[in-house]
Each structure stands twice: as C-alpha cells, then as structure tokens.
Chains A and B, each alone.
Chain A
Amino acid sequence: MEKPPPLGYGLGLRPIYYEEILSSRPPIDWFEIISENYMLAGGRPLAMLERIRADYPVVMHGVSMSLASTDPLNFDYLRQLKALAERIQPAWVSDHVAWTGVHGVTLHDLLPIPYTREALAHIVERIQRVQDFLKRRLVVENASTYVSFVDSEMSEHEFVREMAERADCLLLLDVNNVFVSSFNHGFDPVAFIDGVPADRVVQFHMAGHTDHETHRVDTHDQPVCDEVWALYEHARRRCGDVSAMIERDDNYPPLAELLDELQNMRDIDARLSKERALSAA
C-alpha cells in the first residue's frame, strides 16, 4: 500500500492560536485544518492559513462531504474543496464515515448509519466518485456514535475495513472516537484497532471527550484521558509510523497544554521504539 510519508506530530489549526503559532513557531510538525473554515473568498482565515502553510505541511479535514448520505454528492461543495486543495497543496484530504443530512438539508453533525451491505456499497461507490473527482486518494475517518442499530449486519470495524479495501481509500484512525464508540456500544476498542487495515492508516486523531456516565460524547473540549492514551499506544504498536495529532475545538487551553500532549505522544513513541530496538537486539 502506497501511503504519503508520515508528517510527525501535528495540531488542529484553530483561529485562537494563529498569532502565537506565527510569532513563536512552536515545535509542531504539521497542522490539520477544518476545510470548510477556509472555503471562503478571502479574509483573515485564508491569509493566516497561507502564512502558516508557507512554513508547515498542512492536511485538509472536512466535516461536510456527507459520504454516507443518500442525497446526491454535492459537486458545488466538492469543487470548492478541490479549489482549496489546489491552493493549499495539502498532504491529504480527509472526511468521515458519516452523513450530514438528506433532502437538501444539512444538520452540521456527523450522523450514524446502520452497518449494512447496502450502506457499505453506497459509501464505497461515493468514495470512489469523490476520489475520481478530486484526483487523489481520500482519507476516511471513523466517527464517534451514540446510537447503534438493530439493522446492522456487521461490526463497525468490519465495515471500515471492507470500505477501505473496496474503495481503495486511506484511513484516519480517530483513537478517541474508537474509545467513545466502544464505550457507548460495548465493543472492544482493541479489537477495533486490530480489525482495521493498518497499512491504510495514515493519520491518528487524539482528542478529549465528555463523560456522561452512561455514555460519552466526543466534544474535543477536554484533555486526552488515560484510557485513550493507552489505546493510542496500542494503535501505535499496530500501525507504526503514522502522522498523529491533537484535536481541540472548545474550552481552549493555553497552547502550551496542547504542546504537552504532543510531547506525550513523542515520549510514548520514543519508548515504543526503544522497546522494539531492545526486542530486536
């Protein structure tokens, strides 16, 4: 499987950190943008992005492709996305195993699907069409979900694996999403990570979530919790050298706290490398 080279340790680029990033050039290897926030005619967001892009690799992460929707693909949206990709030259473009609306309405959320053969064939066909249009391999992320369906005919990781293989797309493994969904639906998160094709994983997402006791919600407004760090270690062992990053979308801490989380990733990876070297010796 041909994959883009790993980028190291990255951060979700958010406006609150623009000035500090540009002035202090913190030790961040790359940035991920929310594509829609830059699909604009002009102004500060694009100006900041271009300044940051001049010095850092960038990947584009979308939330509105609605790959699993039964509405027609939105080619106006895809044309804007493609234009942004041509301007920014991202290392890759990603979106989710999700839908955001039907009948022309968009709910601005990553909505769940039953994991059926019909849904699988549908999303595979749409990923292929998007890849043909964008002329690049798409990176597709597992979403957090809060409900699961009696109509499902396979597990989520079986769905994701077959989707990736049939559509010949790459994967973004959101480790926090695996944890949140495994908690909410009672599956084994390690089995999920072991079940997805590691050779197609090009990126890890790490984030925090909110614990509501009976369920957890993917809010990106908390530090990464210990269970998710443990899962990260497993994902790293299984997938090897994959670009990894922290997503933070609310309750923004000082940038230094996010840099500490990136350092934690580096420390875990250094320890794993050392272990591998020792066991190989």
Chain B
Amino acid sequence: MAEIILETQGLTMRFGGVVASDNVDFKLREKELRCLIGPNGAGKSTFFKCVTGLQTPTEGEIYMQGVETTRWMPHQIASLGVGIKTQTPNVMDSLSVFENIWLAARRFHAPQQANRKTQEIIERLALGSIARDDLGQLAHGERQRVELGLVAVGDPWLVLLDEPAAGMSAEDVERMTEIIHELNKTAAIIIVEHDMQFIRSIAEMVTVFHQGKVLMEDHVDRVMSDPTVRNVYLGKKN
C-alpha cells in the first residue's frame, strides 16, 4: 500500500451555529485520484478551504506527509509542494500567460530555470499561440487551462482542484481531463466537483459529503449505484 500523504482527524469547522464541516476523518494515499462530491452546502468547499489554509478549522488536525499543517497559512502549505486551484479562476489578469506561469515557476526555481520550466508547461498545455496575451482577454476555458499550468509548473506532489470543469465546454473538459491524468502520474489529486459527467469520466475513488459529514467513501461505480447517495445527491428517482 502506498504511503498516506494527507490525513485529517476530526476536522470540524463551525460558522456561528452552523457546522459546515463535522468531524471529518479523511485519508489520501500517494498518487491517488480522489473526487469529493455532495450537494450544495455539504461541506466540500469548507473542507477544501481548511486543507489549503484559506480557513482555519475550529477543531481537528491536518497532516501532510506526516507534518501537522493545521494552522498554517496558504503560502506555507503551497511551499510544501501542494498545488491549489480555487473555484473561481484566480489568476493575474493584466499579466501575460507567460508571466503568470513564470511567477509560479519562480517560487521553486532560479530565474533562468523558471524560464525553461515555463516554456515547457506552455508547450505541454498547448498555450504557445497565446503565451504573450494578457490573461484577462482570454476565454474562460483558456484561463482555466492557464491556472492548471500555474499549478503544474511547481511539480506538486499533491494537487487540490475546486470545480475545475465548471463553466467549460465539452472540448475544454476533455483537454482538462487529459491534463489531470498527466498530473496524476506524479501527484495525488483531490477534485471537488459538481459535474457528474466529469466525475464519471475521471473518478476512481469518490468521497461523498453530506451535511458536513463523510457519508460514504468507495469506488465511483458503487457510489453512483448506492441508494442513499442517490437520495441525498441525485434526488429521489428510482
């Protein structure tokens, strides 16, 4: 069995009286691809934000490669080699595609090497024709792809993606899937996603969230055919 690289113990997040994340125990192994699904307000995004350091959990611990990272800032977690993509495109709009990726590369490499890494990623993601364009002028799908480039250029061992397929065309999603599979060769990946089509095409293991708790954790086929999951998530139609 591969080593556990991410673990949460009793992760709880309360906003006033609302328990957004309730005692979540979660384990992720090396190079695993895991999808987190659940209805709106199930606590997926809160879980995501706690793990990435965007929010500090009320209770519980988070361990990454055996190191406790519970109260760490996002930049400290990212510095460990964790690639993070948030729900809305989070990019530097008035900078070029090259500059965006270069800035991500520069964090882990010297300037010259960062240039090389950036070129590499631009070729890998087929962004060559738009490399000098400002990111703000590009289509949504292209921006999402660039953001994946930002994540990939750091050679992460853990990648966290919040709704990567949201608002993308079928063609873009297909390309995105390829990139994710490519990333998965060297990194464990967690995907928070709504799009069932996308989940079916990419997922192996799936964790279902419901009312802040982990409802079920199993292979995608068994999760999809499970009656409880269908009840809470897909609506009651049998």
Q: Do A and B come from one complex?
A: no
